[in-house]
Amino acid sequence: MPHATLPADDGLAATVRAFEAYGDGDWDDIAREAVGEERIVVNMGPQHPSTHGVLRLMLEIDGETVTEARAGIGYLHTGIEKNMEFRTWTQGTTFCTRMDYVAPFFQEAGFCLATERLLGITDDVPERASVIRVLMMELNRITSHLVCLGTGGNEMGATTVMTVGFTAREEILRLFEAVTGLRMNHAYIRPGGVAVDVPEGFTAQARDALENVRHYLGQLGDLMLANPIFKARLTDVGALNLAGCMALGITGPVLRSTGLPYDVRKAAPYCGYETYEFDVPTGTGADCYTRAVLRLEECYQSLRIVEQALARLDATAGAPVMVADRKIAWPAQLAVGADGQGNSLEHIKKIMGTSMEALIHHFKLVTEGFRVPAGQAWQTVEHPRGELGVHVVSDGGTRPYRAHFRDPSFNNLQAVSVMCEGGQVADVVVAVASLDPVLGGVDR
């Protein structure tokens, strides 16, 4: 890896004095003679495969021991939050779904729940829409954890862990595509409900897929948790206790690995989570191995929720999936045509042949959007990586005055220095993988 040899951090004045005293020459010789020691600074990144994206880690090392670790971010900044100020509230979901691209449904849900609070329609969202939201989020939680476990295993040389994890993920991505038409970046959850109902026969398709997912999860458990090499490689690595998590604002599996069962779905339920039966797995190891165990167990808990949601979908077949208020509801249900996109032609023909007012309303709602009363709202959801917070502000117009996201990866990334300093260089990869950061959410 590229590296540089620098003098001890005595400030700019010490560096200037060293140059003045020794004049021209080799920097290593000057640093060693002037300061009496050397610091080796290694750049890991910004495009190292161990970082799940464009993260730069600056490591100061003494031999193989990491004495200082700092994270450099911003390489994937896309200005999503600012761009949302120039789009309608409905169009905002198209932006925020692309933040944490591994778990897009959670940003959509958080943003729409906050928007619905401002609109005062939280209780008006149809039950079937809330069930579909829960279903999609829990399926997405499983796919996100599978990416974490799969890539984490691959980074340690266990390629089979990755192939099994990604094969299981494909089963769920096919379900996403059947409902939304896309595998990622769906913009499916909308203010007031969801864009379109699940297709006919979806529940049966989902149950078949989940049987395969459960089988692959069992294989992952055998490959990882029952593997003495895997266990020895992760145990007591990347340790971070409860006090450290609380001081740094870290949530999710990293926090629960210290024994604290904090989960937004239980602490501040939304979308009817209080009516579902599931447990919040915790551990006390506070290390990388405990976090791997918890993520696998959370996949099984999500399967429990998904099975309950599928039963509720069967019981509410034909029910609406969008609020009844036509000043807010998207006037045309999306329908995937032969070209893979488009709106419901039946609905367009109906409003065009019924009244000019209906056609004008349809046009204005799609192009200008609906107005949201002035105010601000804060909404949290339990993201696969921890607590996701959404703060939206409205000035009474058709676009957000401000939209800000408290992304869990951003907060969790603060732990890199605490988890890595004093450990080995090789353990940095393991520690970062256990945090499971997605830099799209960090940089936004």
Query: Each residue of 84-104: pLDDT tens digit?
Result: 989 888 888 889 898 888 889
The phi and psi torsions of 31 (rounded to 5 degrees) equal -65, -40
Q: How far, in Å, CA of 209 to CA of 367, rounded?
A: 38
Do 158 and 22 belong to one domain? Answer: no
Give the residue numbers spanning the domain of 10: 3-72
Query: Which 3 state secondary structure label does DSSP give 65?
Result: strand
Final residue before a domain boundary, out of 13, 45, 72: 72
Q: How many domains does the chain have?
A: 2
Query: Which 3 state secondary structure label does DSSP give 317?
Result: coil
Do 149 and 26 belong to one domain? Answer: no
Q: What is the mean pLDDT of residues 359-379?
A: 84
Q: How far, in Å, CA of 236 to CA of 286, rounded?
A: 8
Is 248:386 a contact under the CB 8 Å cutoff? no
Q: How far, in Å, CA of 122 to CA of 271, rounded?
A: 9
Asked if residue 15 has pLDDT above 90, the reply is: no
Do 34 and 111 belong to one domain? Answer: no
Predicted confidence at residue 332, as pLDDT, reads 47
Express each pLDDT in 17-29 by its tens digit: 655 555 555 655 6
Q: How far, in Å, CA of 250 to CA of 435, rounded?
A: 10
Do 156 and 221 belong to one domain? Answer: yes
Lowest mean pLDDT among 24-33, 258-267, 378-387: 24-33
Asked if residue 375 has pLDDT above 60, the reply is: yes
Do 123 and 54 belong to one domain? Answer: no
HSE of 249, CA atoms in CB hemisphere, 13 A: 11
Asked if residue 11 has pLDDT above 60, the reply is: no
Task: Quickly state the pLDDT bin for 108 (edges 50, 70, 90).
Answer: very high
CATH number at residue 170: 1.10.645.10
Whether pTM exceeds 0.85: no
- Within-domain flag for 334: no
Helix ranges restricted to H, 270-376: 288-315, 345-354, 356-367
Which two tokens mark 46? Answer: 């910004």
Do 27 and 43 belong to one domain? Answer: yes
Do 15 and 124 belong to one domain? Answer: no
Q: How far, in Å, CA of 309 to CA of 305, rounded?
A: 6
Whole-number Cα distances in Å, 420 to 54, 61, 64, 417: 19, 11, 12, 5
Round the average pLDDT of the chain to a whole number and report it: 83
DSSP 8-state secondary structure symbol assigned to residue 373: -
Do 215 and 279 belong to one domain? Answer: yes
Express each pLDDT in 303-318 by its tens digit: 999 999 999 999 988 8
